[in-house]
Structure 1
């Protein structure tokens, strides 16, 4: 019947093309896992190889994940972890978070059985984060339950209860009876560990009811055995016998070796507590035989599984050898063709290059001659333009210099005239003619105001900056807080005027001029023996 089921599944898969066929193959292979794990593994390996050739990473990753689950079922944890790790990389590359989260939960179980508890917790935490991001209630519930189970095995019961209750909330939200039943069973187990048997019975009974509604026969057997344990531990031996015998009947019908072995063992322990030694011995002997049958079945299954793994490895090695041989032949053929083509191309290139060299030599000589002539012409034109520009600049400077000199002389003459008038008027004021005194004082005041008139200084500065470009900028780089009068004094020193003319232009006395020069020298931070005139002329 099993062989027929396998053939029927494969026949259906062959009628479907492409990736859809791979999905159907994978679905039917999952149904074979618990019955024919070795056959399932072979079929999954074929699917993986085909997906590799077709460059279908999704089917590759799913096949690897399921092969890992089969190896876990058969107890080969290292091989299972290898398959899951390879699937993990594919799912991450594809950014398939839904598949990645499920694979992380599978890896968490493997790390737990390998006694790598921190790594198991890390896988669950990452899966939990993904399910939160995707708002996947069922995934959250499953992961919460796994984390709670992990805490239970570490005897951290408060944390175990916390996560089991979170799982129960999620399963209740989506009304998944099988999930709720599993969480009830987990909570019953925690209470049993804490020896709170009434609470444990309460949750086991609720779990039993939900499993019965869902038709979960294997889970029902486990729960009945747990209820029998609770009755035995609380001294209700007859009630415990009834519950365990009920589990035994179901295990026999389902041919569940584990369920039968556990039931025989529990019945034997109960009869021993009832001091019925013959019955206790009888059932304990049945338990021992069941254990031997389990070990025998496991050994047969492991042998078949290892044989499949060996065949897979052998076939992989053969495929790799054939692939290497084929690759070598292809490389040799391609290399030969490339060498021949290169020789032909090389011969053609050598002949073409000889022809081109002659043509290029002539062309290059003509081009060099033309370039040389053009460069000579451009250089001559550039020199002429530069000479014209220099001449124009010299003429402009001469004109500006004349304007500056004329402007300066005009200001000097004006100020000299005003100074002469002021002196004469001061003499008139000293005269005894009192009636003219007031008018003359007004004229003197008007003349003094004329000394401070800035119109001439503005025009002077514009012309000065055209002749002595960047003078004021350089001066301010030395000291940026120079006053208006400091700048005028520096400009007059730059023109090499004598002290008398500078005093006249600034409308101050020679003594005041010396003081202004001394203050300017201090502001410019000049040394005691350093000349102010030399410094300004150097700018």
Structure 2
């Protein structure tokens, strides 16, 4: 089936290149059919039409519009121009806006729903390219509303238009709606093989976000085979990297290596620096798992020259983390500590950025959904003008919409709270894991220092002083730890103080660390005290709380 689809699309593109662009349109005697065929030609010509041949392309459409006195074809002529202008660099934004205004005027004057959908869709794309994502999604939703009302795949525009709405939901991290819409888009005509390729790759990304890794593997494999067919080396590399990273997440390291190597090589060639850095950092970690230190070291010769060419903190975090592991494998604990700190810094920066983005996107998503609901309500009100008796029905619908909106908002808040709680748990776990790794590095580093018999006492003291700066859960870091802890265990410290007001700060810290199921050795390392001091503090707590055993104390802590 896929082979037949591929051959059909290639044949249609060949016909487009060797015949008049709109020959089939010119032969039709039906106005509706002419409009449908013209849209199909515009979509199929997306990648073959550019600034150099757009005039020849649109002149045929212009002649047809004049010959048939057809204003809708004139509107589609403007749409074809906008399609090309949106891909130009620099982008002629003023011309795009003028052309879209003309399309809107024609659509409103002649009450043509599908031309109005074209206006909404391309206005949404224009807003997206201007980084106005909320406005972009609002217009894309308007276009989708018209498409869905007329029947999902009844319009030639359905597939591409529904796909863009799905991408909009993906940007707002609404993965379930994004998956639903892009799956729906793939049931319609997508015209170009590259459109199918992008859709399957996007579905792979969504399934990975939903942790449906096997489903994601299938989508990435399908997208990769299409990229190979159309000979798009850049996309072939990117999709190979997506599949390779999936295998990495599944611990299928042997299978991930050739895919990540392909992604790294092709993205370097096409100057896709962010993708190259992500692929290279992941690949380096895989090499280190197989103790291929030299290969990982060679990889960083390339990575060190490109990692600073972009500003994505999550990719910089993966770069620093991989480099820290390289230095650790080489026994260079000093540099391992430094790069581990940098990785943690960019990880925290990424978490902060994502938290801010999630809050903003959640707010904008609600506004976009309200706008879509209002649009549907306005359409209902327009119909109510025909017969007065529909007023009662509209009031009922309005009440239901309000009720549904309240339920949806409540569910969204609950879902958002659950996501925030999960994110806080991951942050706290990351924090604790980071402490554990640093303490291991510090212990190894201390052992190295003790072996430096010939080093001066001043050098040793200086190094030990620097080590002290890496110690976590000092007074300076306690507030940061406490904030993370409270996100996961809400009101823990308040409830603890209310029940046991006579506890000291040291005892409260020990109880908090016990809540994380840390060993006494780990608690001692994090608190910069001896294990014996931890035991004595624990005994003192039991005495104050009149508890006889450690198990009773653990049960009490678990109940708070």
TM category, shorter: 0.3 to 0.5
Q: Which has the larger radius of gyration?
A: 1
**Higher helix proportion:** 1
TM-score normalised according to structure 1 size: 0.42
- Whose relative contact order is higher, 1 or 2, with alpha carbons under 8 Å and at least 6 apart? 2
TM-score normalised according to structure 2 size: 0.41
